[in-house]
Structures are given as structure tokens and as C-alpha cells.
Amino acid sequence: MAVKIKSVGGVGLENALKQLQEKIGQGAHVRSGFLENATYPDGTPVAQVAYWDEYGTKTAPPRPFMRTAIANNKGDWGRLMGAVLKATGYNVNQALALVGEKITDQVKQEIVSFTAPENSMLTNILKERFPTGDYTKDDFLKAVSDLKHGATASPGKPLVWSGVMLNSAAYDVKEGPE
């Protein structure tokens, strides 16, 4: 049920605004990204790996997929929320879920389309040898040694290895303010 405002002022407008406020409720918010329950098989939080990818580490350059997704899309989120609120009859939770799904899809698209900087040759060797990302310290040291002795591998896609991070991008809707 949508709230229709037919009055331009006075008591009619006040009543319509009260109805709209009741319909919208006390507030909620949506979170999109890598939520706390997402982990790699070894227990490493996906959010931690995403942070390392986003900002870089001592041994890897930043790959700012999240900041790029935000910069490229945030200007549309307010309009989208307004349109979705209207389309859902001002059902806030449903509207936030639809917007959260859109934002999550935009983050995933940025991960898939990301190309630079390229992976290091060591990363490419490890990705080629261990497509699921499941390797040991000894496997890593062997790859380092092999690299020093001239081993190479085909270039791999930055940010995409086992698919865990890509498949872990998610959203949720929470009651109340952030």
C-alpha cells in the first residue's frame, strides 16, 4: 500500500507525512561488501583479504576495486533508493534489500573487470599450480625457489583466484540506524 499525498499543506499534509513516517518506520540500513561470517576454508576472513587487496600490503600493490565501485556508482544510489521505495510502497526493508543487491552486484562487477596492476609472477605460478588457492608454506617456498630458477606462468586475473572473495560479496539489512 503506497501513501498518497493529496494535500499541499495544513492538517492534510501533516497527516500524510505522519502516515509516511509510520510506513517507513524507525529506520534501517543496508551493509554491502564482505560480511563478518565470510571466510576462506582456512578461516581467514574474506574482509581481511579484501582489505589487503584494496589497500595493498608490503609485498603487493593496492587494487582498489571497492573504492572504484563506490566512486563509479554512489551518485546513483540515492535516486535508486527513492525509486525503489516508491515501487515497493515505501517498504523500507524491501527497498534496502533491492538497493543492497544492486550495490553488491556493482562490487562484483568491479572485481571481475579489474585488470591492473597485474599479478606478480609468483602469484601467477601459485594460481596455476593451486587453482583453489589451497597451498602450504612448503608449496609457497618451492614456488619462490622455482621462480628464482626461471619458472614462469601465464598471466592470471587480478583479484580472482579461487572465487571465494567474488562469491562472498553480500549485503544484509539491519534494523535501526548504523
Residue 33 falls inside a structural domain = yes
- Is the four-CA dihedral 21, 22, 23, 27 of positive or negative sign? positive
- Structural contact between residues 73 and 106, judged by C-beta atoms closer than 8 angstroms: yes
Residue 153 falls inside a structural domain = yes
Residue 13 falls inside a structural domain = no
DSSP letter at 120 equals P
Q: Are residues 65 and 89 in the same domain?
A: yes
Burial label for 133, CB within 10 Å (0-12, 13-18, 19+), is middle
Q: For residue 72, give its domain range.
A: 23-117+158-178
Angle between helices 137-148 and 121-129 (to 10 degrees): 130
pLDDT per position as a tens digit, 16-53:
556 666 666 667 889 999 999 999 988 999 999 999 99
Q: Are residues 52 and 101 in the same domain?
A: yes
pLDDT per position as a tens digit, 77-107:
999 999 999 999 888 889 999 999 999 999 9
Of residues 51 and 10, which shows the higher confidence score? Answer: 51
Q: Are residues 178 and 100 in the same domain?
A: yes
Tell me the pTM: 0.80
Residue 5 falls inside a structural domain = no
- Provide the pLDDT for residue 115: 92
Q: Which helix (H) or strand (E) holds 172?
A: strand 170-175
pLDDT per position as a tens digit, 110-119:
999 999 999 9
Residue 147 falls inside a structural domain = yes
Number of domains the chain contains? 2
